[in-house]
């Protein structure tokens, strides 16, 4: 009985010790420092966007349409005279909210299916694994496009569509990690001591899924932002006049030859955000993956 009592305490101490080491390594990782700086600035923009925006992003000014970047409009204006800087600042809120919400919803479903398919033996595990493989056979963009085509446009439908394209990728990561953890000594010891499957999953398996899920967060939130931008560019995302980075670029495509600034700045916002998330994910993988550290 004493071994069964001491095992959880050992599991708690190890992550705490490693956490301090990981933090020091991350703070000296160049890619993480660069990405963290960009993401910190982006977080400030999301929080303070309405306060720092120079104009109303929905205000139409026909006399100021298609103005190039200048002193009065740092990023120029679009075909309706709306200030692009203000629309990009406001669009950060919607684009990141869609990406984060879709990831959280997809990660929750992916975690559930991944844990059950990896831990459960027999027909249930086989059926769930087959379900994951079926969804993985299709590109993320195609699944999202088909879902929006069925449910229609709008913010809730867009989040659901992107979540449906994300969850099988999360489930694959979780399932692989659960298959590895299931054969470890402390998990088998807990089962021998009479712990139920739910207790083993919650107390011994789930805490060890934190690191791969954090890395997946950085990658798939970026993917979700790209999918949102693509769908909005096609007119299947958040409907105008609500600004998102995708529909800002979509509304500017008719004037992209003569007045390309709206498309350039909104596209740069998407690209810089996704690049920062991917760099952060690479840095986290370098630090958290023991195989890479040993190599």
Domain boundaries, the chain: 2-56+74-294
pLDDT at 132: 93
pLDDT, tens digit, 9 for 90 and up, residues 234-252: 888 888 888 889 888 888 8
Q: Calculate what percentage of the chain has a pLDDT beyond 90.
A: 24
- The three-state secondary structure class of 105 is helix
Could you count the other beta carbons within 10 Å of the beta carbon of residue 108? 13
Residue 69, Cβ density class (10 Å: 0-12 exposed, 13-18 middle, ≥19 buried): middle
Beta strands in the chain (DSSP E): none
CA-based nearest residue to 225, from 158, 171, 143: 158
| Farthest CA pair distance, the chain | 80
pTM over 0.85: no
CA-based nearest residue to 270, from 230, 215, 213, 218: 230
pLDDT, tens digit, 9 for 90 and up, residues 108-138: 999 999 999 988 888 888 999 999 999 999 8
Degrees (nearest 5) of the Cα angle 85, 100, 240? 45
Instruction: Reply yes or no on whether the pLDDT at 168 is more than 90.
Output: yes
CA-based nearest residue to 144, from 124, 127, 158: 158
**What is d(CA 81, CA 173) in angstroms, rounded to the nearest whole number?**
46
pLDDT, tens digit, 9 for 90 and up, residues 69-82: 998 899 999 989 99
Pick the CATH number of 2-56+74-294 from 3.40.50.2000, 3.40.630.30, 3.30.1330.40, 1.10.3720.10: 1.10.3720.10
Compare 210 and 14 and report the one with higher pLDDT.
210
């Amino acid at each position: 009985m004493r071994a069964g009592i001491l095992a959880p305490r050992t599991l708690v101490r190890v992550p705490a010790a490693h956490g301090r080491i990981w933090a020091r390594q991350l703070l000296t990782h160049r890619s993480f420092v660069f990405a963290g700086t960009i993401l910190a600035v982006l977080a400030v923009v999301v929080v303070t966007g309405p306060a720092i925006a120079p104009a109303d992003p929905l205000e139409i000014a026909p006399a100021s349409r298609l103005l190039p970047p200048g002193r009065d409009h740092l990023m120029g204006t679009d075909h309706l005279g709306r200030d692009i800087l203000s629309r990009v600042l406001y669009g950060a809120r919607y684009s990141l909210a869609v990406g984060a919400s879709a990831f959280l919803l997809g990660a929750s479903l992916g975690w559930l299916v991944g844990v059950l398919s990896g831990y459960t033996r027999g027909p249930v595990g086989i059926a769930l694994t087959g379900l994951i493989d079926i969804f993985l056979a299709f590109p993320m963009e195609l699944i999202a496009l088909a879902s929006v085509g069925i449910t229609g446009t709008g913010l809730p439908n867009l989040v659901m569509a992107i979540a449906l394209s994300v969850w099988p990728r999360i489930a694959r990561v979780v399932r692989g990690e659960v298959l590895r953890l299931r054969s470890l000594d402390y998990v088998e010891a807990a089962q021998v001591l009479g712990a139920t499957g739910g207790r083993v999953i919650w107390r011994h398996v789930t805490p060890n899924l934190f690191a791969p899920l954090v890395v997946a967060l950085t990658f798939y939130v970026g993917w979700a932002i790209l999918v949102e931008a693509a769908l909005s560019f096609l007119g299947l995302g958040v409907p105008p006049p609500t600004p998102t980075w995708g529909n800002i670029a979509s509304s500017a495509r008719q004037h992209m030859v003569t007045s390309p600034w709206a498309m350039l700045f909104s596209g740069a916002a998407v690209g810089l955000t996704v690049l920062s998330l991917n760099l952060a994910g690479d840095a986290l993988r370098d630090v958290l993956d023991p195989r890479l550290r040993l190599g």
